[in-house]
Amino acid sequence: MSERDEHAQLKERIDRVLDSFVTAEAQALADIDACLAPISEQLHAAAGHGKRLRAAFCYWGWRGTGQPCSEALVRAAAAIELVHAAAVVHDDLIDHSRTRHGRPTPHIALRETLTGRARPKAGARALAMLTGDLLMSMAGQLFTTSGLPAAFLNRARPLWAVLARELVAGECLEVLCTGRDPDPDASVKVIRYKTAKYTVEHPLQIGGLLAGAPPRLLQAYSDYGLPLGEAFQLRDDLLGLLGDPKQTGKDPADDLTANRPTVLMAHTLARATKTERAELQQLLGQPDLTEQQVERVREIVHRTGAVTRVEDMITARLRAAHDALADADLTGEAHRALSALATYAATRIH
């Protein structure tokens, strides 16, 4: 079986776990009061999409130690996808994003629930925030009730807390850096904590800790996971502005409207002419950008060489991840799977 087919099978298993768990939790919420049904629907919408890469890294962190496949481990790995779902809900709320994967984001969809009420927009945003909070709580519940022995869970519990703390730190850093002068190094730090660690490094290490991995292997997971996680987000930033929305599920204007301190935009602003910089500063943060305005930003991004600069950063980080993997003492099966996942995560090409 190819690595692609194997990942597809693992994804199906993760999807089944999440569908069953979220269905039960959503029903329990709706049972409290019928008016909570729209919130239950948003739990399904938030958790129903994804490549399940975070769960896959956790799974292979476990298998890399020589541990056999385990349904309980699959459930524990699936819990990290709920962390991601929570982060996406909060992220879209912070950035005022209107759509994701062609669907209204929770704070937009939930406005219908408050039609005719006072301040429906504010109420819908509050409901979306609480939906994200509930998803984070559900992640912890699925992890601790996965069926793994308590001794296994206890080995990973401290890192689970670190994962949540650093994810929130990354989100806060992004808010604090928004609107500041462009700083590529600060932008890299944002993506390291906001995305890279909880996407690759921490899931891998959690899988390893659950399996009782030795310190040397856990360090190898970090040496592989951190640069790969950064490459993943750098690619995401490129695709977000330059990719096909039908494939990315994101509006190309989202990062611009939110004035996110992306590495791509930091390099663009640093290398733009005075006229271009003034033009960008007028567009960044502006709501309802037209297609022509977005296209103008793309032109400046390409002209400044920022795209090439970010592509070079991705290449260097992917190389570092593969080098770390080559030196890691893990099973051949896990080595092949993680090598394929690295290439896909950094390029989004199978």
pLDDT surpassing 60 at residue 350? no
Residue 163 and residue 188: Cα distance in Å, rounded? 18
CA angle 27, 33, 39 (to 5 degrees): 60
- Greatest mean pLDDT among 100-104, 236-240, 285-289, 319-323: 319-323
CB atoms closer than 10 angstroms to residue 327:
10
Per-domain boundaries in the chain: 3-347
What b/e string do you get for 116-142 counting C-beta neighbours within 10 Å, with b at 16 or more?
Answer: eeeeeeebbbebbbebbebbbebbbeb
Mean pLDDT, the chain, whole residue set: 93
In contact, 186 and 177? CB cutoff 8 Å: yes
Q: How confident is the model at residue 178 (pLDDT cuts 50, 70, 90)?
A: confident
pLDDT tens-digit map of 97-144: 888 888 999 999 999 988 888 899 999 999 999 999 999 999 999 999
**Predicted local distance difference test score (pLDDT) of residue 1:** 66
Q: Write the Ramachandran bin of 272: left for phi over 0, alpha for psi from -120 to 50, otherwise beta.
A: beta
Residue 52 and residue 98: Cα distance in Å, rounded? 23
The CA distances from residue 301 to 249, 260, 286, 294, 308, in Å, are 21, 15, 17, 11, 10
Yes or no: domain 3-347 corresponds to CATH 1.10.600.10? yes
In contact, 340 and 3? CB cutoff 8 Å: yes
**Predicted local distance difference test score (pLDDT) of residue 341:** 96
* Residues of the chain above pLDDT 70, percent: 99
Side chain identity, residue 187: S
- From first CA to last CA, the distance across the chain in angstroms is 15
In contact, 10 and 50? CB cutoff 8 Å: no
* Residues of the chain above pLDDT 90, percent: 82
Q: Which two tokens stand for residue 222?
A: 């970090």
Sign of the CA dihedral with 20 first, then 194, 235, and 240 last? positive
pLDDT tens-digit map of 201-215: 999 999 999 999 999
